[in-house]
Amino acid sequence: MPKEKQWNRYQLKEKAARVRYWMSVLDKLSFRKKKPLLGTEMFLPTVLGDKRVLAYNMNNPRDLPLYINMHGGGFIMGDADMDDPFMAKIAEKANVKIFNVDYQLAPEAPHPKALYDCYAIAKYANEYPEDLRIDPDNIAIGGQSAGGNLSAAACLINRDLKQFNIKCLVMNYPPLDLYTDASLKPSPRGSIPVFLSRIFDACYCNEKDNRKDPSISPIFATDKQLRDFPPTLITTAAFDSLCEEGEEFRDRLMEVGVEVTHKRFRAKHGFNLKPGADADESWQMVIDHLKKHLFSEY
């Protein structure tokens, strides 16, 4: 396997464009029909400007808990639309309101822009609960893949800023170590190719040494930082190069006393975005986690 390379920003933009192009080709070849969105498009006037979200259950007149979801896509692809059908189900089954976030993508917007987008939306929700009809004391945050990374990082920066209370956290197959070269991670059949993981990591943060920052690679957070994490749900996939780091993070949280729920699925990365029994079970775990921790005081 060739060694990891250092690319300039123009090379990164070119590589990201190629990845997006081929992913769009594969999507078209799947012949999947694009369904109407179930969420309501909103643009929230945050401190960083108007940020797009897909919102769910907002017509409910009750002040309900809020779940803030971040999509996956290696930090360089995707949007809130890809999680739309699953968020609609969670909103209904868990009886929560949801903001499904469109954050800025790398490499055009490298770290920390996506993270700050997500944090700004949570901060806005906490500051305007009456307008949104949400319960600001019961906010959860979570996401798939890169979105799981952003969720953990949001918990870390909120630990220092203390601008709102995060009651629980959801991370589905998250990348938590962007510093370690992908060629040194497990590579079961069907896992993310090394060359693609390297592009994802470099696009999000091109300076290798900076990737040890816990807001980029939460696995490097100190025990003191992790001790303040909320109850956390982690799912990992057995045929995923990210499985070990997700489970190492689980162990570290448990060692410092954080309540953790975890399951390793015999599946590939992104498994719960496709129909199947594992996907159904994974989303039910999210629903159960939210109901347990967001309604404990009701």
**Where would I find the H helices in 221-273?**
223-226, 243-255
Using DSSP, state whether 46 is helix, strand or coil: strand
* Mean pLDDT, range 126-130, rounded to an integer: 97
* Mean pLDDT, range 201-224, rounded to an integer: 98
Is the Cα dihedral 85, 54, 156, 256 positive or negative?
negative
For the entire predicted model, the pTM comes to: 0.96
Residue pair 200/174 in contact (Cβ under 8 Å)? The answer is: no
User: What pLDDT shows up at residue 297?
Assistant: 60
Q: What CA–CA distance (Å, rounded) separates 298 from 292?
A: 11
> Distances in Å between the alpha carbon of 237 and those of 41, 197, 267, 268, 277?
31, 16, 5, 6, 14
User: What pLDDT shows up at residue 2?
Assistant: 78
CA-derived radius of gyration, the chain: 18
Q: Which of 51, 49, 53, 22 is nearest to 40 (CA)?
A: 53
Q: What CA–CA distance (Å, rounded) separates 217 from 201?
A: 10
Band of the pLDDT at 293, cuts 50, 70, 90?
A: very high
User: What pLDDT shows up at residue 31?
Assistant: 64
Cβ count within 10 A of residue 208:
14
Q: Is the peptide bond before 174 cis (omega within 30 degrees of 0)?
A: no
Does the structure show a pLDDT above 90 at 296?
A: no
Does the structure show a pLDDT above 70 at 298?
A: no
Beta-carbon contacts of residue 117 (< 8 Å; ≥ 6 apart) = 46, 48, 51, 101, 103, 104
Q: Which of 259, 218, 258 is nearest to 242 (CA)?
A: 218
pLDDT digits (tens, 9 = 90+) for 6-63: 899 999 999 999 999 999 988 887 767 778 999 999 999 999 999 999 999 999 999 9
Q: What CA–CA distance (Å, rounded) separates 248 from 46?
A: 34
DSSP state letters, 277-289? HHHHHHHHHHHHH
Mean pLDDT of the chain: 96
Ranges 26-35, 39-48, 201-210, 271-280: which has the least confidence:
26-35
